A = this chain, B = another copy of it.
């Protein structure tokens, strides 16, 4: 019996009982079409109108026990998280998401209610940016796995990771370290501070920030999903530059400090090492170009790698994927 099933009543209706097509029938009302959905779910493929001459596309996997632990997140949370992670990838290109597909591989004893609550959470997160689910696939699997692909569009040129140049400033938009602190709290058996736990359960990427940064001329951009230093390193490597971060410029929320203090660690470990909050990290040619709501946290120089206050970062690094 899977962990999710164990949390519900033993007579809960399962995926194996209703089958793929029974589940699809129940999912359909949750995923209703949008204005540009010419053919929605239910055929061999969906068809979308594309008005922009291009699509921005990204895909992400979430695996139970690796990307989330079902005792710490509800089915709805998993839906929010899976959608947010993908929507954020379009945000990081300076675009807006329009359509998504979902692949759900799940044990046959997963309650139907879990799948429906997951779908509801997913749809709610997509609604924040006006995106809709246009297709999907269901499969049995020993391992609960969510595979999402997101399509979107930009109104100006997409912002890639590789455009940063020495002399640029580095700026951050969105909260950072909250999810990691929430996870640390949960890992020790606590459920508060509530704001941090909720940040882990349902990240809140700044969905407007990507298009605004693109409009403002961001030279490079990435979403912080692995960790601030790790993703700054990805941007630096793609741009063939070095990035210097200054901790004095990094905000540390009061609740982060409180948790770090209780755990006897430096709160900056959450901020520098934590992932999954999905703020945006971008570079701009000058500080005057940085949009409102962004905070300048460092600068781009010649060289390679990331330094924090002038030194290599020796804290926990980014997420290990295997």
Chain A positions within 8 Å of B, measured between CB atoms, are: 15-16, 19-20, 38-39, 42-63, 65-67, 88-90, 92-93, 95, 99, 101-106, 108, 134-143, 145, 147, 149-152, 154, 158, 160-162, 221-223, 238, 320-322
Q: Please, which residues of chain B bring their CB within 8 A of the CB of A238?
A: 42-43
A-B contact pairs, 17 of them (CB 8 A): A19-B321, A43-B161, A45-B158, A47-B56, A47-B158, A49-B53, A50-B50, A55-B55, A57-B151, A58-B135, A60-B103, A63-B140, A103-B147, A139-B321, A141-B145, A145-B147, A151-B151
Out of B38, B44, B137, which one reaches A222, CB within 8 Å?
Answer: B44
- B residues less than 8 Å from A61 (CB atoms): 103-105, 137-139, 141, 145, 147
Cβ B66 vs Cβ A152 within 8 A = no
Closest chain B residue to A99, Cβ basis: B57
Chain B residues whose CB sits within 8 angstroms of the CB of A321 once the complex forms: 19-20, 138-140
Decide: A149 and B59 in contact? CB cutoff 8 A: yes
A interface majority secondary structure: strand
Q: How far is the CB of A317 from chain B (nearest CB, A)?
A: 11
- The smallest C-beta distance from A75 to any residue of chain B, in angstroms, reads 17
Q: Which of B53, B90, B93 is the one whose CB lies under 8 Å from A50?
A: B53
Residue of A104, A108, A140, A322 ringed by the most chain B CB atoms within 10 A: A322
Q: Which residues of B contact A102 (CB under 8 A)?
A: 59
Chain B, residue nearest A36 (CB): B54
Choose among A42, A43, A62 the residue with the greatest number of B CB atoms under 10 Å from its CB: A43
Query: Which residue on B lies nearest to A14, using beta carbons?
Result: B322
Across the interface, name the chain B residue whose C-beta is closest to A62: B139
User: Which residues of chain B come closer than 8 Å to A56, judged between CB atoms?
Assistant: 45-47
Do A137 and B59 touch (CB < 8 A)? yes
Nearest B-chain residue to A20, judged by Cβ: B321
Question: Which of B15, B45, B99 meets A89, CB within 8 Å?
Answer: B45
Q: Are B59 and A55 in contact (CB under 8 A)?
A: no
Q: Are A38 and B54 in contact (CB under 8 A)?
A: yes
A63 and B105 in contact (CB under 8 A), knowing A19-B321, A47-B54? yes
Extra contacts besides A42-B161, A46-B56 (6): CB < 8 Å = A39-B160, A44-B222, A61-B139, A61-B141, A137-B147, A140-B321
* CB within 8 Å for A149 and B152 given contacts A50-B54, A139-B321, A160-B39: no
- Kindly report which residue of chain B lies nearest to residue A154, judged by CB atoms: B47
Contacts of A147 in B (CB 8 A): 59, 61, 103, 105, 137, 145, 147
Residues of B within 8 Å of A66, CB to CB, are 139-141
Most chain B CB atoms below 10 A, which of A16, A65, A147: A147
> Which of B38, B48, B136, B143 meets A145, CB within 8 Å?
B143
Interface centre among A67, A151, A154 (most CB of B within 10 A): A151
Chain B contacts for A320, CB-based, 8 A: 19-20
How far is it, in angstroms, between the C-alpha of A121 and the C-alpha of B51 when the chains are bound? 34
